[in-house]
Structure 1
């Protein structure tokens, strides 16, 4: 039985929860791992056409098979469509955990954005998830994960005894800045891609106001704010110090994030990649609300907050690397001058900021920081017999995340580096046909999360990116 990362923690198995899978004979001609058409949770004709179009450009049969399995995985397995007040409602689970994470669900639909204008079914799906996000944020903007039934109590075993304000409908209540950034990014990018304004009703605007209000609360200029979180757990990364408020900070205008996108607690509460993402998301929100001509005050507030956080990042978000003497982006700071450099595979990461559109790919500070992250300077960079890449304390030492390898390829214009990334991805799926959360750097048959739709979708995005940007690479046999 596959052991998932969170169930392993609940069972006290430690930070590294691996599923040791026996080597499996690869099916003849790489038989599809998708569910039978009748068993797929959601079908889009546009997505099926896109699979056929891109597959025809992929010369390597195993890479083509991986794309065909991974790209539609969110639609095939994680979407639950319903209607609320006569309008679409979409509940999108992460995979092997039957709850909706604001971050994951938005990221999971991102690979289909470019197809939504021409596909009514996809537009319904995006409208449904935008509405579900708004209702979830209005339940509790500090929660990261939600139940399908908004009246239900959490069924996550590890969250049952959390010392925090758990409300009906909330599955887990870890405050992560990126949890409120991803819904804005998805809503804005959907609006840009389609011109559709139907989802952006009074409910959505209320959720957008709650988002900006929560960001301001978590600047903590007037006290610790309303959020605290304690968990009884063997793992220090599952709870917060100082009675659940986290480490001390000097209030400099940055937004406190108590947890990273890995759902691990922050060492220092100013998580720099998350604050960069917040600046980008707030500016997208301001642009969108201004164009919709509904709430000039919200647009102004979002824009002003983005400017304030950007100024604080410029002043407090960097550090001098004592080893090289170079200025780098810090991963976390506390406002007192203390800074921590590392990078985590989960996005937003330092390495993922250009992908998110939060920083320009040609920015020299970001380029230096990303190069340092993809090196032994980062304590979570790993190089082994199976591959090289960035891992996460969430999965333990010696692990690599396919998501980080995808980010490396997306960040690069170097053909040799991109091909190396593709080879790493091709040989580390452990004959399952899908991406995983993490795998052992020396033995990819040891991995976490057999069903992790975000990683599958991100791999699909990489192949789409290469089909547009570097089609000649897909024409090679790896």
Structure 2
């Protein structure tokens, strides 16, 4: 697997952007850099010859980031067997990692003991970090499903995939009863509160809701309340994908019942506990709840987010509860909504105050239903790259030359997907493809 040349299928996408935006040379250049970023600089191999995708400036593979980084290449894989094989190999590697430890969020390329081995949890040499996040288990299912839709190939739904799915279902069912059944705890010494869990590593106390518990957000920050709503939404979507995969590939009646039961229970929990009455926006989704009445009205830049719900496949882009939630998210009522001289959008407690995340701007663009909003966001992103031609993690809303992370492969990929959607090209089988028809 080489990462040193530009495949013809990639050049085709760059040519498409140039044809769609002939007057916008900076956009053309930025798209080329961002679209190639993962393939040229973060994609390596394990000793077994399977793909290993680092985040960029950290030599470990996150299940979430690796999926998001490779996702735009699904549009290439439709006509590029080599890229399709790389993505299938990544799915296999992800599912093997999940079998090693379904509670881990990031893994080492080999069992070398690197990473946060001093954390008070059940670490192993292959695990870089063991912050349990629901979305880490959703993303590989999503990637496998969308690869099938992009290529019509189901060979990657093999024994590794099925065993990974079994581990995922077991964890999600266990974590519906976090207080009484969960074996998981996590503590990290001498760090800010968002990098560890309170209550001896068990996190804030929760009551049963039907939803499944998460220790951490997709930012890798600790949850304030254990039922992270956007991640439970993503789990419902992933379980729907598994229903379809099982019906078409495995025809396992027992598995079908397990998947359907869990999906129904989580969805009921979302509607019963996560839909809350906001004093200004009416019925909308809270970001986190605990099952006892406590709720957290906010949204974070990282995906899954409430803003990204229809992009991920939960609900419709025009659903009233989503639109009310979106209005809240893009207002000063959201504590992480930022307005600056150069950028306006969603930030995160993971980065400094007054910083907007390009990832959230790309999501806002892809969930917008008006062309004017999409184009305004595109121009904002292109104008605030800090002179690098890349996307960053967070950017000072009043000075785009101040940012976190010189380049951030996940953000580059999200920007690439947003730009391609404006060219009328989307991942087959994705909600975005259905919206742009």
Q: Is the 8 A contact 1:375 1:381 kept in 2?
A: yes
Question: Which one of 232, 240, 243 corresponds to residue 275 of structure 1?
Answer: 232
Tell me the CA shift for residue 363 of structure 1.
Answer: 0.8
Tell me the CA shift for residue 234 of structure 1.
Answer: 3.0
Q: Aligned partners of 2:351, 2:39: CA distance in 1, in Å? A: 26
CA, structure 1 residues 300+224, in 2 after alignment: closer, same or farther (shift >3 Å)?
closer
Q: Is the 8 A contact 2:60 2:109 kept in 1?
A: yes
**SS in structure 2 opposite 1:354?**
helix
1:351 aligns to 2:307 (yes or no): yes
Partner of residue 76, structure 1: 40
Partner of residue 16, structure 2: 53
Tell me the CA shift for residue 117 of structure 1.
Answer: 2.7
Q: Is the 8 A contact 1:42 1:75 kept in 2?
A: no
Partner of residue 362, structure 2: 406
Partner of residue 440, structure 1: 396
Q: Aligned partners of 1:91, 1:467: CA distance in 2, in Å? A: 30
Tell me the CA shift for residue 418 of structure 1.
Answer: 1.8
Partner of residue 93, structure 1: 54
Tell me the CA shift for residue 64 of structure 1.
Answer: 1.3
Tell me the CA shift for residue 222 of structure 1.
Answer: 7.0
Q: Deviations over 1:361-405 (max 9, x none)?
A: 111100110111011010000001121000000002111000111
Q: Aligned partners of 1:469, 1:321: CA distance in 2, in Å? A: 37
RMSD between superposed Cα atoms in Å: 1.7
Partner of residue 184, structure 2: 227
Q: Aligned partners of 1:402, 1:293: CA distance in 2, in Å? A: 39
Partner of residue 22, structure 1: none
Q: Deviations over 1:409-457 (max 9, x none)?
A: 1111223222221121012110000000001111111101112111001
Alignment of 1:297-312 (within 5 A): 297-312=254-269
Q: Structure 1 unaligned segments of length 5 or more: list them.
A: 1-37, 471-478
CA, structure 1 residues 269+221, in 2 after alignment: closer, same or farther (shift >3 Å)?
closer
Alignment of 1:370-381 (within 5 A): 370-381=326-337
Q: Deviations over 1:104-128 (max 9, x none)?
A: 0011111111221311110111111
Q: Aligned partners of 1:167, 1:255: CA distance in 2, in Å? A: 24
Q: TM-score scaled to structure 2, two decimals?
A: 0.94
Q: Aligned partners of 1:399, 1:208: CA distance in 2, in Å? A: 37
Q: Deviations over 1:195-229 (max 9, x none)?
A: 21222211211011101111011111671411100
**SS in structure 1 opposite 2:378?**
helix
Tell me the CA shift for residue 186 of structure 1.
Answer: 0.5
1:164 aligns to 2:121 (yes or no): yes
Q: Is the 8 A contact 1:286 1:300 kept in 2?
A: no
Q: TM-score scaled to structure 1, two decimals?
A: 0.86
Q: Which runs of 4+ in 1 moved over 6 A?
A: none
Q: Deviations over 1:141-184 (max 9, x none)?
A: 000000001x2212x3xx23210000121000000000000000
Partner of residue 29, structure 1: none
CA, structure 1 residues 42+153, in 2 after alignment: closer, same or farther (shift >3 Å)?
farther
Alignment of 1:97-246 (within 5 A): 97-149=58-110, 151-154=111-114, 156=115, 159-220=116-177, 223-246=180-203
**SS in structure 1 opposite 2:424?**
helix
**SS in structure 2 opposite 1:290?**
helix
**SS in structure 2 opposite 1:231?**
coil
Of Structure 1 and Structure 2, the greater helix share is in 2
Q: Is the 8 A contact 1:143 1:170 kept in 2?
A: yes
Q: Is the 8 A contact 2:134 2:214 kept in 1?
A: yes
Tell me the CA shift for residue 316 of structure 1.
Answer: 0.5
Q: Aligned partners of 1:411, 1:117: CA distance in 2, in Å? A: 24
Q: Aligned partners of 1:53, 1:327: CA distance in 2, in Å? A: 41
Q: Structure 2 unaligned segments of length 5 or more: list them.
A: 427-437
1:389 aligns to 2:336 (yes or no): no
Partner of residue 64, structure 1: 28
Q: Aligned partners of 1:214, 1:367: CA distance in 2, in Å? A: 32
